[in-house]
Amino acid sequence: HWGKDCDRGSEHRVNHKSFPIEIQFVHWNSRMYTSIEEALGRRNGIAIVTMFGQIGREHVGLKVITDTLEDVLYKGRHKTLTGP
């Protein structure tokens, strides 16, 4: 999620503070369930990791991750990350 203003755009807040960017990574347990729809609302079905962002310079630590996303799009793919 992002907004047109630099002070809000996130769907959620931390300590009543909004952020310009919110990224949600949604993962479902494919070992226990055959689809994300089946996993929703079930025990150990999904995990959501949320990141909030600020507007500014490129973050070199995050770039290490985003540069490798294409390599791990599919189940069973692995990538070892090395940070700056």
pLDDT digits (tens, 9 = 90+) for 12-49: 889 998 889 899 989 999 999 999 999 999 999 999 99
> Do the domain assignments include residue 3?
no
* Residue-level pLDDT at 49: 93
8: nearest Cα among 37, 61, 43, 17: 17
> Do the domain assignments include residue 28?
yes
> Do the domain assignments include residue 5?
no
Tokens of 50: 């949320």
* Residue-level pLDDT at 3: 73
Q: Which domain range does residue 43 map to?
A: 13-72
Q: How far is CA 63 from the centre of its chain?
A: 13
Residue 60 φ then ψ, to 5° = -65, -35
> Do the domain assignments include residue 18?
yes
* Residue-level pLDDT at 9: 82
Q: How many domains does the chain have?
A: 1
47: part of which helix (H) or strand (E)?
A: strand 46-53
Taking the whole predicted model, whether its pTM rises above 0.85 is answered as no
> Do the domain assignments include residue 51?
yes
